[in-house]
């Protein structure tokens, strides 16, 4: 590895000064892609014929990157890691990908993921399991598993992800890198395969906060094809990174971060929360106020259920377009009903089908009030609770997950766990409920494996949130870290 | 007539044909003979597409809701109606789901009968949705044309407030003309732009409601009439026979060939459409100032035109009614007036000649060669006496047949009346010279000989001589 462990600005300077060419970077990135594919199975497609581009003043020009396989990429296989779309080659580009392409960035691979983003393990895609580059017996988490794996492995400085529950921010933590999901609508979702539209976000995985800012600056913008997108032309995330957070106030939630709340905590959980406390102390030392706040346990423990209800409902409708009729291989059968049934039955994995059944049940007329409408109300309560915190605090800082990456073995997509553990494992979903800007940065190690810190702020306050993350990042030594296989 | 009290409610779907693009995609919204041409990834529901509502479609719906005296909500949004069918690419239709906010809620419209009486139709709701693709079922295969997928569709639902087929059809005809007048749709059933669902029930009296039977996808007003009458008959017969329990709340379809309705499914098997609000379209705020602006743009409506024709132009109620029925006809008439044709004359030509012609030839009045400008030339020629009114009718037919300018045909056919004094004088002299004995008879008191001379002159000129002039000259010469 000569160049691909570097950040975007460094690469840009090397390109500008002629010390390296775009062609060399792309060749190196493709070579590394094959190595990481052999080891971790991170990709659906490696674009061996990716061509260099002209190096301009744009920081991203000439530099390779990866794209999660649920982004529509014109002329290039886009499967969503599903058998239903295993041969699907779109004829249009996702808006955000198109912006990067127009900036001269070079896509070198499409990364594997949980099928259509519906999973948090990186084990459910149609091309198999993504292994964690730090420990091949562990998962990357999902659903942006391939993107996290590739960026952590130093294949390129950044890869695109999508985040409906925590699908960028959880894998980033497990792989020891940065994962940023901006405010809902900052980046157009046009061309991102829909999972749960009211929760879906585009975003990016990088090895530094600055790189995340640079990439999202290029991806963002109002898009007439996505009415939930908004004009952010007055925002430059990169230029907002000054590292000055003297007067900022942060908080963390006692019910999630205090080890006493957990019965029989695992050794990893104990260390994980101790590490979190240490990091809070470190931040406090820099003069930033970090308060402990309390949130109703009932509300915290409802988050995961609300997420399941809303995401499964929207998903069952969103993925109804996959019938094999207007596109995709036609299913076998003598009637259209049989054809659709066979296409869907054979194409989707059992996990997804389970979610469709749940979603369908919830949306039934007689169940809507009890589940769907109530879940929407609780979503609102959760969001209002966080908004209330933002009246006092710039951001909420919390540990990601219940420890380092989980083991692949025995880690199927289980939707129910001990309530308190589950609340800690799933709280990043709050960022999707409220559309809040939310970023995970590497926050240390537990048993030599990376764990993450998450910083989530109020809507439209991306610049502030990123600047806080940038400042905290600089207090620690994990910036630009590349995965080192520890086992 | 049934001895029972009949109650009818009607859902009328009208395709919006006057927006440039589809309701939620930038694809063209035009009638296109080439299948699957007005299509983009959004219409076909490819992965990753998002809907963006057409502002003009929303404006049109607000116009319609205004005319229907409906309540317009403060915010507009759409719901997903989820079901699987090959003509529905996304697996759901974007629609509005009453009783939740539709673009028009409640309201009414007053309809005039031919005898001058009126009745009020209560509106339940007007909602704006997207159409499905079009399917054609062949012997052992079906083909899908996505041109129609995503075209704006206006669905207007009445309360169960109609009581007979004639009133129902009058209502539908009037609504169709409003769609035309508002510039929302050609509302042409020949192009499949109108489809109705007809709900009919019978009961012993007006205080009770019977079992509602729905007949779906009726695509012409004459079929609506047939469905209503058939259902009244069918349900009444069952009731007469004490078998009213066999009338089920169900969905039927109209079978054109047998002239009967056929059971499709029972309401018990009704599909649960699992409606929920489309999350990709933020609620659209409908500002009052916007509604006011839209209201101002509402043009003269059919009944207003009719009243104008009667009171200001002196046309009969009957003629006015015919003229306003189709906007294109009324527009043709108005254009004639603008050009200076007398209202009565224009009305006569349109009603007695043009409508017959387009009906026979399956043409549209705005497509025929005989434009108001050409009609003006014909009526002017008749008015000035250049041609006789009989020739006018011949000219009318020839213009349509040959598709040539009236002046050219008049010249080619030698139609112009001879109004030149000297030319007529010489022919009159010729006739008189050839008929000395008849002159004799005339001078001896047989005054009817005068008409004989006129006839001879007309014969010699093959009817082209101006009869008034002929008479003047004859009188002069016979003195």
**Distance separating alpha carbons of residues B250 and B266, to the nearest angstrom:** 4
**Distance separating alpha carbons of residues B9 and B200, to the nearest angstrom:** 7
Predicted pLDDT at B459? 85
Whether residues B383 and B438 share a domain: the answer is no
Of B47, B52, B82, nearest to A227 by CB-CB distance is B52
Of B48, B91, B272, nearest to A72 by CB-CB distance is B48
The CATH number linked to B425 is 1.10.10.410
Interchain CB distance below 8 Å, A225 and B50: yes
Give the residues across from A292 on adjacent strands: A252
Closest-CA residue of B relative to A320 is B91
**Cβ–Cβ contact B44 with A under 8 A:** yes
Tell me the C-alpha to C-alpha distance, in Å, between residue A409 and each of A141, A354, A406, A418, A426: 13, 21, 9, 19, 20
List CB contacts of B18: < 8 A, sequence separation 6 or more. B60, B183, B184, B185, B186
A91 vs B contacts (CB less than 8 Å): 41
Structurally, how many domains does chain A consist of?
1
The minimum CA-CA distance between B285 and chain A, rounded to whole Å, is 13
Residue A411 has pLDDT above 60, yes or no: no
Unique residue bearing structure tokens 């169960």: B160
Predicted pLDDT at B1? 58
Strands B260-266 and B75-76, bridge-based pairing: unpaired
Closest-CA residue of A relative to B275 is A363
Q: Is residue A389 part of a domain?
A: no
Average pLDDT for B95-109: 93
Reported pTM = 0.89
Give the percent of chain B with pLDDT over 90.
72
**Cβ–Cβ contact A446 with B under 8 A:** no
Whether residues B162 and B203 share a domain: the answer is yes
Residue B262 has pLDDT above 60, yes or no: yes
For residue B107, which phi and psi values (nearest 5 degrees)?
A: 115, 180
Please, where are the H alpha helices in A181-266?
Answer: 209-219, 254-257
**Distance separating alpha carbons of residues B213 and B249, to the nearest angstrom:** 5
Of B91, B274, B282, nearest to A363 by CB-CB distance is B274
**Cβ–Cβ contact B445 with A under 8 A:** no
Whether residues B152 and B199 share a domain: the answer is yes
pLDDT digits (tens, 9 = 90+) for A168-178: 999 999 999 99
Token pair, residue A375, equals 């879940």
Whether residues B100 and B49 share a domain: the answer is yes
Give the residues across from B8 on adjacent strands: B162, B200
CB pairs under 8 A between A and B: 101
Q: Could you tell me the sign of the dihedral formed by the alpha carbons of B206, B210, B216, B221, in that order?
A: negative
Unique residue bearing structure tokens 């730090």: A134
**Of the given ranges (A79-93, B215-229, B318-332, B402-416), which has the lowest mean pLDDT?**
B402-416
Q: Is residue A387 part of a domain?
A: no
Q: Is residue A280 part of a domain?
A: no
The domain boundary residue, chosen from B251, B272, B291: B291
List CB contacts of A37: < 8 A, sequence separation 6 or more. A43, A46
Segments forming the whole domain that contains residue A240: 8-244+438-444+456-475
Tell me the C-alpha to C-alpha distance, in Å, between residue B288 and each of A425, B2, B73, B393, B423: 47, 47, 10, 53, 72
List CB contacts of B289: < 8 A, sequence separation 6 or more. none
Whether residues B286 and B346 share a domain: the answer is no
**Of the given ranges (A27-41, A241-255, B279-293, B414-428), which has the lowest mean pLDDT?**
B414-428
Residue A107: alpha-carbon gap to chain centroid: 18
Whether residues B177 and B263 share a domain: the answer is yes
Angle at A398 between CA A392 and CA A404, to 5 degrees: 175
Give the percent of chain A with pLDDT over 70.
98
pLDDT digits (tens, 9 = 90+) for A260-280: 999 888 899 999 999 999 999
What is the rounded average pLDDT for all residues in chain B? 92
Residue A465 has pLDDT above 60, yes or no: yes
Average pLDDT for A176-187: 98
Predicted pLDDT at B410? 86
Q: Is residue A21 part of a domain?
A: yes
Q: Is residue A270 part of a domain?
A: no
Q: Catalytic residue numbers of A?
A: 68, 143, 167
Interchain CB distance below 8 Å, B276 and A88: no
Predicted pLDDT at B190? 83
Contacts 24+ apart (CB under 8 A), B401-409: B403/B369, B405/B374, B405/B377, B406/B374, B406/B377, B406/B378, B406/B381, B407/B377
Segments forming the whole domain that contains residue B377: 299-412
The minimum CA-CA distance between B134 and chain A, rounded to whole Å, is 13
Predicted pLDDT at A412? 44
**Confidence bin at A417 (pLDDT 50/70/90):** low
- Provide the b/e sequence for B170-199 (b: ≥16 CB within 10 Å): bbbbbbbbbbbbbbbbbbbbeeebbbbbbb
Instruction: Kindly calculate the radius of gyration of chain B based on its CA atoms and give it in whole angstroms.
Output: 30
Whether residues B103 and B153 share a domain: the answer is yes
Structurally, how many domains does chain B consist of?
3
pLDDT digits (tens, 9 = 90+) for B324-346: 999 999 999 999 999 999 999 99
Q: ipTM for the complex?
A: 0.95
pLDDT digits (tens, 9 = 90+) for A424-442: 999 999 999 999 999 999 9
Predicted pLDDT at A416? 44
Predicted pLDDT at B418? 66
Token pair, residue A370, equals 């009890």
Q: Is residue A237 part of a domain?
A: yes
Q: Are A319 and A313 in contact (CB under 8 A)?
A: no
Whether residues B462 and B332 share a domain: the answer is no
Exposed / middle / buried, residue A75 (Cβ in 10 Å: 0-12, 13-18, 19+)? exposed
List CB contacts of B321: < 8 A, sequence separation 6 or more. B114, B306
B82 vs A contacts (CB less than 8 Å): 316-317, 320, 363
Predicted pLDDT at B140? 85
Residue A80 or residue B189, greater confidence:
A80
- Interface with chain A: mutation pick from B50, B90, B142, B148, highest number of A CBs within 10 Å: B50
Predicted pLDDT at A424? 95
Whether residues B250 and B360 share a domain: the answer is no
The minimum CA-CA distance between A203 and chain B, rounded to whole Å, is 15
The domain boundary residue, chosen from B291, B322, B341: B291
Give the percent of chain B with pLDDT over 70.
99
Average pLDDT for A246-254: 96
Average pLDDT for B20-48: 95
- SS3 call for A377: helix
Whether residues B320 and B282 share a domain: the answer is no
Q: Is residue A61 part of a domain?
A: yes
Q: Are A275 and A452 in contact (CB under 8 A)?
A: no
Q: Are A133 and A483 in contact (CB under 8 A)?
A: yes
Residue B76 or residue B440, greater confidence:
B76
Predicted pLDDT at B31? 84
Interchain CB distance below 8 Å, A228 and B144: no
Residue A143 preceded by cis peptide, ω within 30: yes
Angle at B423 between CA B421 and CA B427, to 5 degrees: 110
**Distance separating alpha carbons of residues A467 and A457, to the nearest angstrom:** 11
pLDDT digits (tens, 9 = 90+) for B278-299: 999 999 999 999 999 999 999 9
Predicted pLDDT at A205? 98
**Confidence bin at B383 (pLDDT 50/70/90):** confident
């Amino acid at each position: 590895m000569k160049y691909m462990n570097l950040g975007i600005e460094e690469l840009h300077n090397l390109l500008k000064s002629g010390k390296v060419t775009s062609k060399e970077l792309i060749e190196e990135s493709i070579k590394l892609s094959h190595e990481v594919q052999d080891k971790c199975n991170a990709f659906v497609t490696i674009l061996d014929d990716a061509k260099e581009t002209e190096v301009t003043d744009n920081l991203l020009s000439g530099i390779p990157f990866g794209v999660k396989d649920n982004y529509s990429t014109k002329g290039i296989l886009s499967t969503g890691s599903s058998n239903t779309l295993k041969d699907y080659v779109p004829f249009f580009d996702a808006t955000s990908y198109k912006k990067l392409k127009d900036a001269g960035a070079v896509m070198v691979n499409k990364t594997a993921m949980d099928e259509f983003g519906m999973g948090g393990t990186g084990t459910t895609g149609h091309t198999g399991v993504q292994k964690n580059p730090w420990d091949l017996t562990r998962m990357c988490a999902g659903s942006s598993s391939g993107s996290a794996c590739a960026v952590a492995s130093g294949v390129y400085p950044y890869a695109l992800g999508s985040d409906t529950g925590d699908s960028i921010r959880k894998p980033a933590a497990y792989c020891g890198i940065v994962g940023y999901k901006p405010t809902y609508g900052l980046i157009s979702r046009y061309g991102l395969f829909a999972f749960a539209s009211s929760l879906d976000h585009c975003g990016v995985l990088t090895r530094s906060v600055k790189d995340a800012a640079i990439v999202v600056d290029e991806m963002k913008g109002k898009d007439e094809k996505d009415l939930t997108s908004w004009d952010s032309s007055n925002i430059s995330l990169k230029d907002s990174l000054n590292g000055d957070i003297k007067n900022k106030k942060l908080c963390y939630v006692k019910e999630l971060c205090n080890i006493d709340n957990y019965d029989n905590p695992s050794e990893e959980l104990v260390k994980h929360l101790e590490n979190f406390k240490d990091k809070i102390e470190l931040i406090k030392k820099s003069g930033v106020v970090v308060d402990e706040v309390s949130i109703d346990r009932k509300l915290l423990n409802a988050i995961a259920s609300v997420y399941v209800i809303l995401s499964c409902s929207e998903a069952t409708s969103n993925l109804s377009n996959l019938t094999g009729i207007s596109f995709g291989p036609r299913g076998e059968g003598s009637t259209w009903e049989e054809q659709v049934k066979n296409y869907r039955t054979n194409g989707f994995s059992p996990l997804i089908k389970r979610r469709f059944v749940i979603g369908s049940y919830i949306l039934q007329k007689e169940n809507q009030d009890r589940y769907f409408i109530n879940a929407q109300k609780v979503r609102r309560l959760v969001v209002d609770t966080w908004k209330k915190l933002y009246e006092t605090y710039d951001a909420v800082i919390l540990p990601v997950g219940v420890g380092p990456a989980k083991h692949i073995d025995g880690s199927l997509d289980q939707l129910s766990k001990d309530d308190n553990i589950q609340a800690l494992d799933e709280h990043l979903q709050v960022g999707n409920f409220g559309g809040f800007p939310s970023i995970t940065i590497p926050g240390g190690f537990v048993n030599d494996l990376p764990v993450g810190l998450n910083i989530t702020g109020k809507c439209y306050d991306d610049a502030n949130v990123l600047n806080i993350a940038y400042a905290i990042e600089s207090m620690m030594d994990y910036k630009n870290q590349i995965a080192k296989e520890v086992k | 007539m049934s001895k029972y009290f009949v109650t009818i409610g009607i859902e009328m779907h009208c395709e919006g044909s006057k927006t440039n693009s589809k309701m939620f995609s930038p694809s063209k919204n035009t009638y296109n003979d080439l299948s699957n041409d007005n299509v983009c990834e959004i219409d076909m529901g490819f992965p990753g597409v998002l809907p963006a509502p057409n502002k003009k479609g929303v404006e049109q719906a607000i116009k319609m809701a205004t005319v229907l005296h409906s309540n317009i909500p403060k915010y507009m949004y759409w719901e997903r109606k989820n079901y699987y069918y090959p003509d529905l690419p996304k697996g759901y239709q974007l629609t509005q789901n009453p009783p939740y906010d539709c673009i028009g809620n409640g309201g009414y419209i007053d309809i005039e009968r031919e005898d001058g009486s009126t009745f009020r139709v209560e509106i339940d709701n007007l909602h704006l949705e997207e159409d499905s693709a079009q399917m054609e079922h062949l012997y052992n295969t079906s083909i899908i044309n996505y041109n129609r997928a995503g075209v704006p569709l206006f669905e207007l639902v009445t309360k169960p407030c109609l009581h007979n087929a004639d009133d129902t059809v009058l209502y539908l005809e009037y609504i169709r003309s409003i769609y035309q007048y508002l510039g929302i749709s050609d509302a042409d059933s020949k192009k499949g732009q109108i489809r109705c669902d007809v709900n009919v029930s019978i009961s012993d009296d007006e205080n009770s409601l019977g079992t509602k039977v729905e007949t779906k996808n009726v695509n012409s007003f004459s079929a609506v009439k047939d469905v209503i009458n058939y259902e009244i008959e069918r349900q009444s017969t069952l009731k007469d026979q004490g078998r009213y329990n066999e009338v089920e709340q169900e969905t039927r379809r109209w079978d054109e060939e047998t002239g009967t309705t056929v059971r499709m499914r029972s309401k018990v098997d009704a599909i649960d459409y699992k409606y929920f609000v489309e999350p990709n379209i933020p609620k659209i705020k409908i500002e009052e100032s916007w509604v006011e602006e839209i209201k101002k743009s509402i043009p003269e409506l059919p009944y207003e035109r009719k009243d104008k024709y009667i009171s200001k132009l002196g046309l009969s109620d009957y003629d006015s009614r015919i003229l306003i029925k189709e906007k294109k006809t009324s527009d043709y008439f108005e254009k004639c007036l603008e050009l200076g044709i007398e209202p009565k004359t224009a009305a006569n030509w349109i009603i007695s000649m043009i409508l017959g012609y387009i009906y026979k030839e399956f043409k549209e009045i705005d497509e025929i060669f005989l434009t108001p400008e050409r009609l003006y030339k014909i009526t002017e020629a008749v008015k000035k006496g250049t041609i006789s009114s009989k020739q006018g009718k011949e000219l009318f037919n020839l213009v349509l047949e040959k598709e040539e300018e009236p002046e050219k045909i008049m010249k080619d056919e030698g139609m112009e009346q001879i109004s030149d004094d000297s030319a007529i004088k010489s022919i009159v002299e010729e006739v008189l010279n050839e008929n000395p004995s008849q002159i004799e008879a005339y001078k001896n008191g047989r005054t009817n000989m005068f008409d004989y001379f006129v006839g001879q002159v007309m014969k010699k000129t093959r009817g082209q001589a101006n009869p008034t002039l002929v008479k003047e000259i004859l009188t002069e010469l016979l003195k």
